[in-house]
Structure 1
Amino acid sequence: MGRMNVSNEALLGLIAELVMDDAMRKYKENHLYQQIDSALAEGDEATFLALTAELKSIQSPS
């Protein structure tokens, strides 16, 4: 019975880590979108290109 609890705890830990990673990725994406909008509004092409490249790297499958 103790072995099953350890397995369940490990599984729950992995699920929690996946949820946290997903939440952090979504937060970073939203922040980048806001920065991209600002760069567009200011006409800052260099910043826009850098931020969109960063956004693409976050969105690409690992």
Structure 2
Amino acid sequence: MEMNLLNSPQPEVSVMDSLFAEMVLDKALRDFRKEKIQKKIDLSLRDKNKAEFLRLTEELKKVS
């Protein structure tokens, strides 16, 4: 007997599961963005670029 998985009943995703998944994804994206900004801040400090440092620290505050 051949099973046709395309027509089989699919489990419903609950609203809570969807919200949880969205929260996890949002946190992962926020953490990734923060890490990128922090690396750029390190470079601006190394290069002694005060204007870029100030801009990036403000950007980091908004992301945090």
- Equivalent position to 1:49, from 41, 48, 54: 54
Aligned residue number for residue 34 of structure 1: 39
Q: Tell me: higher relative CO, structure 1 or 2? Use CA pairs within 8 A at least 6 residues apart.
A: 2
Structure number with greater Rg is 2
Q: Percent identity?
A: 33
Aligned residue number for residue 23 of structure 1: 28
Gap regions ≥5 residues in structure 2: 1-10
| TM-score normalised by structure 1 residue count | 0.80
| TM-score normalised by structure 2 residue count | 0.78
Report which of the two has the higher share of helix.
1
Gap regions ≥5 residues in structure 1: none
Runs of 4+ in structure 1 deviating by more than 2 angstroms, as ranges, are none
